[in-house]
């Protein structure tokens, strides 16, 4: 799989831009602030319907524009598919596969498989649990797009259940009256249904990912530590019954606090190097290597599924020493397509080769090298 062409209209800094990409390595070079990351962010959005930089869609649309459009031509098994996304801040986005509109934007998920590594990924190791849950769920959906619906259903039910708990909490605190919780059992059952399915998917993913993580960290760090990960759940087993039991046990506390306290939305991933946890013990270099290994493990896992994803390295080589640069170039050199952004071309090892592009304000030009 590779992206043959990317077009943006009113996305971030671009009023209109188009770039023809090549199989193999594509190196996008330009000073900071000219829009290199905007290009790969757009591709990441097509793959996951989310940005790796912001939590909502509005910043993706160019200032002053009402909507933004991302188009990309994807080649897989010698067939080309055009995917188009229209981003409408505050409203449902619209999408097309080929020339046909789809009912929901999430119906395009799976058309483009992509793994993106950026400096922000250090938050996977050092940040909040939400970052690690998102990493898991995005990868789960790329492997099995049906989980986009499962996650959406779970989040919808969670929102309704929290609203009910919050209303009851405020009634008790402000009006000194007992809130109406007569429908809480109904929401418990819905939450348990979707939550158990999401948990089962996550746990199967963690088991499949673990050997790839160990291998990737070993390659990046030259054998300096054994990397592993563990799923930290709020229920003992990934079953509907276990989730219902946990909700029943937590009900008193939930009513007192006005929020749902158990379920996949409260879970976390624990990372380790040898016998020590990464968080709090790993050095900056070890944390950076671990974050990179997480993305490379995701890439290898998707690759093992039979459809090789596109790999994006956004401003990564500048953060690595010479040895790690060369090792990373060697690890990704045989990928079907790699997109690399950098401010200085010399940061990219010559062994990576590939096609080079100059990124300037509002335009992207192919370099003949």
- What are the residues facing 6 on neighbouring strands? 19, 72
Residue 366 lies in a domain: yes
The phi, psi pair for 87, rounded to 5°, reads: -95, 125
* pLDDT tens for each residue of 277-320: 888 888 888 888 899 999 999 999 999 988 889 999 998 888 77
* pLDDT tens for each residue of 97-134: 988 899 888 888 888 999 999 888 889 999 999 999 99
Residue 325 above 70 pLDDT?
A: yes
Q: How far apart are the C-alpha atoms of 118 and 316, rounded to whole Å?
A: 6
Q: Residue range 335-347: average pLDDT? A: 90
Residue 65 lies in a domain: yes
Contact of 359 with 28, CB cutoff 8 Å: yes
Residue 69 lies in a domain: yes
What proportion of the chain, given as a percentage, has pLDDT over 90? Answer: 60
Starting at the edge strand that comes first in sequence, how are the strands of the sheet with 227-232 ordered? 227-232, 268-273, 276-277
Residue 177 above 70 pLDDT?
A: no
Q: Residue range 161-179: average pLDDT? A: 80
Quick one: pLDDT at residue 350? 86
Residue 254 above 80 pLDDT?
A: yes
Quick one: pLDDT at residue 280? 83
Residue 176 above 70 pLDDT?
A: no
Q: How many structural domains is the chain composed of?
A: 1
31 is annotated as contributing to ligand binding:
yes
32 is annotated as contributing to ligand binding:
yes
230 is annotated as contributing to ligand binding:
no
Residue 175 above 80 pLDDT?
A: no
24 is annotated as contributing to ligand binding:
no
Residue 165 lies in a domain: no
CATH code at position 351? 3.40.50.300
Quick one: pLDDT at residue 229? 95
Residue 353 lies in a domain: yes
Contact of 352 with 369, CB cutoff 8 Å: no
* pLDDT tens for each residue of 50-92: 888 888 888 899 998 999 999 999 998 889 999 999 999 888 8
Residue 198 above 80 pLDDT?
A: yes
pTM of the model: 0.89
Confidence of residue 369 (pLDDT cuts 50, 70, 90): low
> What value, to the nearest 5°, has the Cα angle with vertex 171 and ends 166 and 177?
145
Residue 60 lies in a domain: yes
35 is annotated as contributing to ligand binding:
yes
Quick one: pLDDT at residue 70? 95
Question: To the nearest whole number, what is the mean pLDDT of the chain?
Answer: 90
Residue 101 lies in a domain: yes
Residue 241 lies in a domain: no
Quick one: pLDDT at residue 331? 84
33 is annotated as contributing to ligand binding:
yes
Domain range enclosing 365? 1-113+307-369
Q: Which residue has the higher pLDDT, 124 or 324?
A: 124
């Amino acid at each position: 799989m590779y992206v043959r062409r990317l077009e943006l209209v009113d996305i971030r800094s671009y009023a209109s831009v188009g770039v023809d990409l090549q199989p193999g390595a594509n190196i996008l070079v330009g000073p900071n602030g000219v829009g290199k990351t905007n290009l790969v962010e757009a591709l990441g959005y097509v793959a996951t319907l989310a940005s790796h930089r912001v939590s909502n869609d509005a910043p993706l649309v160019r200032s002053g524009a009402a909507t933004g459009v991302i188009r990309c031509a994807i080649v897989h098994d010698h067939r080309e598919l055009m995917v188009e996304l229209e981003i409408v801040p505050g409203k449902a986005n619209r999408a097309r596969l080929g020339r046909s509109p789809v009912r929901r934007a999430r119906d395009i998920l799976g058309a483009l498989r992509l793994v993106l590594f950026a400096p922000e990924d250090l938050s996977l190791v050092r940040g909040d649990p939400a970052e690690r849950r998102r990493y898991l769920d995005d990868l789960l959906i790329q492997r099995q797009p049906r989980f986009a619906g499962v996650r959406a259903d779970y989040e919808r039910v969670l929102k309704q259940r929290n609203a009910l708990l919050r209303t009851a909490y405020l009634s008790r605190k402000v009006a000194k009256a007992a809130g109406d919780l007569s429908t809480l059992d109904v929401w418990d059952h819905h939450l348990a249904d979707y939550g158990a399915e999401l948990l089962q998917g996550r746990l199967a993913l963690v088991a499949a990912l673990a050997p790839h993580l160990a291998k990737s960290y070993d390659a990046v760090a030259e054998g300096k530590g054994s990397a592993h990960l563990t799923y930290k759940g709020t229920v003992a087993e990934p079953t509907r019954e276990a989730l219902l039991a946990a909700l029943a046990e937590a009900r008193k506390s939930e009513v007192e606090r006005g929020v749902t306290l158990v379920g996949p939305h409260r879970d976390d991933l624990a990372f380790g190097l040898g016998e020590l946890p990464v968080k709090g013990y790993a050095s900056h270099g070890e944390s950076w290597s671990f974050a990179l290994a997480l993305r490379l493990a995701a890439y290898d896992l998707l690759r093992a599924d039979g459809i090789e994803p596109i790999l994006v390295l956004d401003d990564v080589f500048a953060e690595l020493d010479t040895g790690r640069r060369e090792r990373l170039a060697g690890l990704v050199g045989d990928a079907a397509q790699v997109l690399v952004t950098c401010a200085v071309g010399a940061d990219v090892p010559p062994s990576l080769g590939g096609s080079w592009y100059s990124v300037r304000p509002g335009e992207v030009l192919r370099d003949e090298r």
